[in-house]
Homo-oligomer: A and B are copies of this chain.
Amino acid sequence: MANDPDQAGYLLAPAPGAARLTRRIAGRDQHGRAVEISVVEERPLTIWLNSREIVTAMTIGDYPEYLALGFLRNQGMLGSADEVTGVDYDAETDSVVVRTASRTDYEDKLARKTRTSGCAVGTVFGDMMEGLEGLKLPEAELRASWLYALAHKINTTPSLYLEAGAIHGTVLCRRDRPLVYMEDVGRHNAVDKVAGWMLSEGVAAADKILYTTGRLTSEMVIKTALMGIPVLASRSGFTAWGVEIARRVGLTLIGRMRGQRFICLAGEERLVRDVALREAGG
């Protein structure tokens, strides 16, 4: 892979040829002709935190440990003070158990919540917002030339998206270099897998850029901010609350990246326009 210029530099790149991730399925096209196409897999994965079953997520099935770790961290169920003592994936039961040295704050919260309303689903979002209070993302530089280089490299990287479609991608980048490119059928799994990788490897966030193929919704902005990454970029569009939260926490938000066009709706101060564009172009 290192000989492929498009792949050079990735620490983790998509594996579109991996057997378990896609399946060939036979059908018929508009003419009635038999066709066979590549379709992404989708499997349930049940995530446990110590002795508590948290959620069953639908995922393509690669990197279950990163997904579990990143999901728990991004939902605020696993704090920075919690010492992770084990992450055990069991292929037979499609489950991952994340173990911590001591009972987590979330388990206590859940126990309290269970006594009042019976279920913790509704608390998750509130907890995520809570984690943002007082958060201020670090200063950083973002050059327009990096954005163009990243979009080109990412779009030409062999991926499940190019092979089979129907999938989202999230890429952790530094300057003009994509480092870790995760894909998943589940909406937020790709970013959770990036978060899990960062947590496992102890990777710094302050000099990173997160690129996503998905929309810049509140949840996406909150996750990026909680991960400590100061820049979030996407080819897709924005939601109003996503923009509002990005402005509140000082996150640079770039959307609608198409060719040399893009729009910046938050954190403009980090952006350096170092590419000479034709005025009529864009």
Contact = CB atoms under 8 A, between A and B. Distances in A.
Interface stretch (A40-48, A171-179, A197-205): A40-48
Nearest to A239: B42
Contacts of A8: none
Interface in A50-68: 52-56, 58
A146 interface: no
Interface stretch (A85-93, A134-142, A224-232, A263-271): A263-271
Contacts of A111: 118
B31 A279 contact: yes
Given A219-B58, A237-B39, A279-B31, A243 B25 contact: yes
Given A28-B264, A42-B241, A215 B121 contact: no
Number of copies: 2
A248 to B, nearest CB: 14
A62 to B, nearest CB: 14
Interface string A231-246: 0000011111111000
A121 B55 contact: yes
Interface in A22-36: 22-23, 25-32, 35
A242 B40 CA distance: 10
Task: Give the 4 A-B CB pairs with smallest separation, nearest first.
Answer: A166-B237, A27-B265, A165-B237, A42-B239
23 contacts: A27-B264, A27-B265, A27-B268, A28-B263, A28-B268, A29-B261, A29-B282, A30-B260, A30-B262, A30-B273, A39-B238, A39-B243, A41-B239, A42-B218, A42-B239, A46-B122, A53-B118, A54-B122, A56-B122, A58-B219, A119-B121, A165-B237, A166-B216
Given A30-B261, A37-B263, 15 more contacts: A25-B240, A30-B263, A31-B277, A35-B263, A39-B237, A39-B238, A40-B240, A42-B218, A53-B117, A53-B119, A54-B119, A55-B121, A55-B122, A58-B219, A120-B121
